[in-house]
């Protein structure tokens, strides 16, 4: 299997089913005295992202030999950006080794909602999950039809041969091969986008252009030619997008290539890998995610605490898109994160009523009544006992006792969506 993965990623495009919704830790604050209040919250919408494409969509990096490993690429980061804006979900349906011709076949099958054989997508695909992915086309059609944002990276496998042979080609031969690649790219991607549009007439579609991965020091004799080729790919992508862009149904180019220009050595593995590998580094994937996010939301957000911060620092908490800044810091206990309940209630506009006699807090929110009792491994949700792994406890903060609740209990009790990013060391809480 290890050799299969190495083979898969030698050229440079891929896909994987990636869902990174990790719940690890705690939440919840209630103070000593609070007035009861009822807040009716409408059923929340979910912002749905579907990513289609090649190994860049997968998030592959050299050495990733275990097919069960979940990469952390641009798509996962884009999901995290979605959590800043509310409830969000990701469906990642890229394919290892996918070319634009394969993309055309794949999107045609998705449009028809028909199960397709692996070779019907593209002969010789090295992805060990390809049979599963091919069988998922009816499900992908449903998810694609419900998507708010559709992202696409494609083209690396089409142009990899040109990158390898550029130094040996005359100017005329290089131009002839590039012109042929651009014509094929334009035709295949246009039809693939039309297939996607047939399934979802309104979602925003973001198409990444093709970055040039080789730094000047590695390909000094052909760097100018390769940069010119990348610029022509960008212009071609712009032309394809402009031809399909419509009011209320935007198709835009995510300008990744310009962010890689001049810093290819730090944003790709082409120098550090044992053999030439064109895939992004973690910094490269963050760069791609930033481009997608800024193209869609106009911003790319990062928390005050990250995986690079000292392990002793408390994690960040983001509630309804706002990072909490409170003296009641999260507490790690029994392997779970606990939050001061009052902070969360304040952030969502709810309050709780504290009963000293029973050592319990009663919260009414979104049509639910939840009773949380200090030390109890159950919480009461609308009169029904629901088990939680770790009980709430009181923590002295200054002169006050604060109720600390495990993060996962927020989802169980109050119906919040709670997602934890270990990479960002951030919990995202969306009512």
Question: Which pair of tokens denotes residue 114?
Answer: 């028909």
Predicted confidence at residue 35, as pLDDT, reads 31
Q: Is the pLDDT of residue 150 over 90?
A: yes
Specify the length of the chain in residues. Answer: 431
User: pLDDT of 76-128, one tens digit each?
Assistant: 999 999 999 999 999 999 998 999 999 999 999 999 999 999 999 999 998 88
CA angle 216, 222, 224 (to 5 degrees): 70
pLDDT band at 322 (very low <50, low <70, confident <90, very high): very high
User: pLDDT of 210-252, one tens digit each?
Assistant: 999 989 988 888 899 999 999 999 999 999 999 999 999 999 9
Mean pLDDT of the chain: 86
Q: Which residues contact 315 (CB under 8 A, 6 or more apart)?
A: 25, 305, 330, 337, 425, 426, 427
Cα 187 from Cα 240, distance rounded (Å): 9
């Amino acid at each position: 299997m290890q050799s299969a993965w190495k083979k898969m990623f030698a050229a440079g495009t891929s896909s994987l089913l990636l869902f990174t919704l990790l719940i690890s830790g705690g939440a919840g604050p209630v103070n000593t005295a609070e007035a009861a209040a009822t807040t009716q919250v409408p059923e929340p919408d979910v912002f749905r992202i579907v990513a289609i494409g090649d190994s860049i969509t997968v998030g592959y990096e050299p050495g990733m030999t275990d097919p069960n490993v979940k990469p952390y690429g641009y798509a996962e980061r884009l999901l995290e950006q979605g959590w800043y804006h509310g409830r969000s979900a990701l469906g990642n349906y890229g394919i290892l080794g996918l070319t634009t011709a394969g993309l055309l076949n794949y999107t045609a099958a998705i449009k028809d909602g028909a199960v397709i054989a692996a070779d019907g997508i593209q002969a010789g695909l090295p992805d060990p999950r390809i049979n599963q992915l091919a069988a998922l086309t009816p499900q992908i059609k449903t998810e694609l039809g419900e998507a708010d944002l559709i992202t696409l990276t494609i083209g690396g496998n089409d142009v990899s041969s040109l990158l390898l042979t550029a130094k040996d080609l005359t100017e005329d031969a290089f131009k002839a091969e590039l012109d042929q690649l651009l014509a094929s790219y334009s035709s295949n991607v246009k039809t693939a986008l039309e297939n996607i549009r047939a399934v979802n007439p309104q979602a925003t579609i973001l198409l990444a252009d093709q970055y040039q991965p080789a730094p000047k020091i590695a390909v000094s004799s052909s760097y100018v030619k390769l940069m010119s080729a990348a610029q022509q790919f960008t212009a071609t992508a712009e032309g394809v997008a402009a031809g399909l862009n419509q009011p209320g149904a935007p198709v835009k180019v995510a300008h990744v290539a310009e962010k890689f220009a001049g810093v290819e050595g730090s944003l790709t593995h082409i120098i550090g890998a044992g053999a030439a590998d064109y895939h992004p580094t973690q910094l490269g994937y963050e760069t791609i995610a930033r481009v997608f996010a800024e193209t869609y939301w106009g911003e790319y957000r990062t928390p005050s605490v990250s995986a690079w911060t000292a392990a002793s620092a408390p994690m960040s908490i983001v509630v309804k898109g706002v990072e909490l800044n409170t003296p009641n810091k999260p507490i790690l206990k029994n392997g779970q994160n606990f939050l001061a309940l009052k902070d969360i209630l304040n952030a969502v506009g709810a309050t709780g009523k504290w009963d000293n006699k029973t050592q319990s807090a009663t919260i009414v929110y979104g049509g639910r009544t939840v009773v949380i009792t200090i030390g109890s491994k159950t919480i009461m949700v609308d009169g029904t006992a629901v088990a939680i792994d770790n009980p709430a406890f009181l923590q002295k903060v200054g002169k006050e006792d604060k109720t600390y609740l495990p993060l996962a209990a927020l989802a169980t009790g109050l119906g919040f969506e709670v997602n934890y990013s270990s990479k960002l060391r951030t919990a995202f809480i969306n009512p």
